[in-house]
């Protein structure tokens, strides 16, 4: 699922001329306090130096 997401993201950015020779992505863990219908993952947060229940968001600087 992650590879499919990255492939689709890459194609979209290429289509909008948003990529050059390199691309810097920042994946940020956002705490998740929602329903347990879809169990979220524990993701590592460098800011907190631990893993916690969260969703990952991607930012392009």
Q: Which helix (DSSP H) or strand (DSSP E) does residue 5 occupy?
A: helix 2-15
Q: Is residue 14 part of a domain?
A: no
Q: Is residue 4 part of a domain?
A: no
**pLDDT tens string 21-36:** 776 777 778 888 877 7
Q: Is residue 2 part of a domain?
A: no
- Per the structure, the complete domain to which residue 33 belongs is given by 24-61
Copy the structure tokens of residue 1.
């699922």
**pLDDT tens string 7-24:** 998 898 888 887 777 767
> Model pTM greater than 0.75?
no
Q: Is residue 8 part of a domain?
A: no
Q: Is residue 49 part of a domain?
A: yes
Separation of first and last alpha carbons in the chain? 24
**Domains in the chain: how many in total?**
1
Q: Is residue 42 part of a domain?
A: yes
């Amino acid at each position: 699922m992650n590879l499919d997401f990255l492939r689709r993201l890459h194609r979209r950015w290429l289509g909008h001329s948003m990529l050059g020779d390199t691309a810097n992505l920042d994946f940020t863990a956002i705490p998740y306090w929602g329903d347990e219908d879809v169990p979220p993952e524990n993701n590592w947060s460098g800011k907190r130096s631990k893993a916690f229940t969260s969703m990952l968001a991607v930012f392009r600087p």
